[in-house]
Amino acid sequence: MTRPTQVWPEEFAARYRALGYWRGETLGDMLRATAARWPDRDAVLFDGGRWSYAELDARVDRLASAFVRLGFRPGDRVLVQLPNIPEFIAVVFGLFRADVLPVFVLPAHRRAEIEHFGRHADAVGYVIPDTFGGFDYRSLAREVRSSIPSLRHVIVVGDAEDHTPYAGLEATPVGPLPPVDPSSVAFLQLSGGSTGFSKLIPRTHDDYLYSVRESAAICGLDETSVFMATLPIGHNFTMSSPGILGALYAGSAVALTRSPVPDVAFPIIERFRVTITGLVPPLALIWEQAARTTTADLSSLKVLQVGGAKLTAELARRVREAFPQAILQQVFGMAEGLVNYTRLDDPEERLIHTQGRPISPDDEVRVVDDEGREVSPGKAGHLLTRGPYTIRAYYNAPDANARAFTADGFYRTGDVVSRDEDGYLTVLGRATDMINRGGEKVSAEEIEDHLIAHPQVHDAVVVAVPDPYLGERTCAAIVPRGEAPKPAALKAWIRQRGLAAYKIPDQIVVVDSFPETAVGKTSRRDIRAALRAQLSAPSQAAPGA
């Protein structure tokens, strides 16, 4: 199998190197450097213990050696589906040092997604917990095994049953490790997947580390900071904005919480004196309410980041009130690259009303109308971007690449934004049909495909309807075939097809027919408008579901 690549035109690459953005350092080297500087400082803090930098570094070398010994070769891909536990960090850096590429699937993914990513990436390994959140990942691994022909090893943290135990790998003596090229792809991140299934995003050591170093500086991380990974640890936000990598670069400690709910996360903040963490808006809403009555001491929290979906000004204000000691930071990023931050010393007005400005002076941002003409400041337009840490192509996806990138290499983000005179962006919505369900991205097309497969469904359209709690929730409109199916039965159908729970439509509405455009296509816009008018009631969706 060929190794995933990410290529910038030579004149861009030369410039990014000359400017010192790409430094020729690998992620594995980065951890080595921090461990050499602060061997005895805490690297990872969790329920049940702490690892110093020296200890983490040694574990990583043993794991890397074990991966080599298992037969993983440079450029191979391994699915990593672990919750926020210290082993995630050890495994991922072990893979980096073995020159094996992690694919960051999330704990919420189920059979359909794992098979898709596993096959698309030709994964040779799959790393899972035994059980987590009441779900047995070992059974899932047994289910997907035969449909991912390349898969050779399933590695389990905990009771491995018939799979390979992680504990054995960690006990491996250190052996020779391959050289790693800093300009090569280090891992595959997932896109939200605006059309059909999520795509794979190849990021290089050089480009990612640039964004990580700058993010650490923008967010004020140093060796006294404690970053808590609250959102799923493999997500791009938690990895790199500034995330666990920013923390490990700066010599900060990474604190882990197994659950983002206040009852679990607040005691971790108190115990480890957490100084910074990141949330998606629906979680910020829960935290904001809980902070008002909690007995936990949250006074260590200096920076509270919110990103992943639009934070309304109303919620932004409430977060400021509930965490008066913390600076609110808005983060508007994407796994494809570009990340925007409000700066810690920005005026109140900006923290509340904008989603920040780009990391780099060399992030090129264009805001254009439907014809591709630049719009004036303050006007809405499509956000296009290119720069020193934004990809030029997805992995192995020629059709998606043709749509998602302009001829001169700008990534079409699909976001509609406005930009002010100082370059701060405000997100106004999405041009594509992705539903942002409180930060969890649901592709309308993917769910439609599953609905249409049901014998009693003639046609289906999934749209976002505004939700006071999630920002957007999913509503499926279906045209029945014969007798209309019951909504509960359709939801059960989606679940039984092996999709993550957050993709099950929040609401299902049966209609006689869909409105059509002039040439006879289904008009999503009209369906959306009709449903929005009809469904104004708040959702019953559970937090973090």
Residues that bind ligand DBH (CB under 6 A): 236-237, 240-241, 307-308, 331, 333-335, 339
Q: To the nearest whole angstrom, how small is the minimum distance from the Cβ of residue 152 to ligand AMP?
A: 29
DSSP SS3 for 414:
strand
Termini Cα distance of the chain: 37
Q: Which is nearer to ligand DBH, 86 or 308 (CB)?
A: 308
Q: To the nearest whole angstrom, how small is the minimum distance from the Cβ of residue 356 to ligand AMP?
A: 8
Hey, what are 66's tokens?
Answer: 């074990």
User: 498 near 147, Cβ under 8 Å?
Assistant: no
With CB cut-offs between 5 and 8 Å by kind, which of ligand DBH, ligand AMP, none does residue 339 bind?
Answer: ligand DBH
d(CA 174, CA 97): 12
Q: Which is nearer to ligand DBH, 339 or 447 (CB)?
A: 339
Q: Which is nearer to ligand AMP, 312 or 523 (CB)?
A: 312
With CB cut-offs between 5 and 8 Å by kind, which of ligand DBH, ligand AMP, none does residue 240 bind?
Answer: ligand DBH
Q: To the nearest whole angstrom, how small is the minimum distance from the Cβ of residue 189 to ligand DBH?
A: 8
User: 207 near 389, Cβ under 8 Å?
Assistant: yes
* Chain residue at closest Cβ approach to ligand AMP: 192
Q: Does 62 bind ligand AMP (CB under 6 A)?
A: no
Hey, what are 111's tokens?
Answer: 């059979």
Q: Which is nearer to ligand AMP, 45 or 233 (CB)?
A: 233
Q: How many residues bind ligand AMP (CB under 6 A)?
A: 20
Q: How many of the other CB atoms lie within 10 Å of CB of 486?
A: 12
Amino acid occupying residue 400: A
User: 295 near 266, Cβ under 8 Å?
Assistant: no
What separation in angstroms does the CA of 15 have from each of 6, 12, 20, 181, 340? 16, 5, 9, 19, 22
Q: Which is nearer to ligand AMP, 225 or 330 (CB)?
A: 330
Q: Which is nearer to ligand AMP, 255 or 384 (CB)?
A: 384
d(CA 477, CA 507): 8
- Selected from 101, 124, 309, 527, the binder of ligand AMP by CB under 6 A is 309
Q: For residues 503-529, b (16+ Cβ closer than 10 Å) or e, as one string?
A: bbbbbbbebeebeeeeeeebbbeebbe
With CB cut-offs between 5 and 8 Å by kind, which of ligand DBH, ligand AMP, none does residue 430 bind?
Answer: ligand AMP
Q: Which is nearer to ligand AMP, 182 or 308 (CB)?
A: 308
Q: Which is nearer to ligand AMP, 330 or 474 (CB)?
A: 330
With CB cut-offs between 5 and 8 Å by kind, which of ligand AMP, ligand DBH, none does residue 72 bind?
Answer: none
- Window contacting ligand AMP (CB under 6 A); options: 100-108, 109-117, 305-313, 321-329: 305-313
Which residues fall within 8 angstroms of residue 275, CB to CB, at 6 or more apart? 224, 225, 226, 227, 252, 300, 301, 302, 303
Report the sign of the C-alpha dihedral through residues 74, 78, 84, 90, in that order.
Answer: negative
Q: Does 329 bind ligand AMP (CB under 6 A)?
A: no
Binding residues for ligand AMP, rule: CB under 6 A, are 191-192, 236, 307-310, 330-335, 355, 413, 415, 427, 430, 436, 441
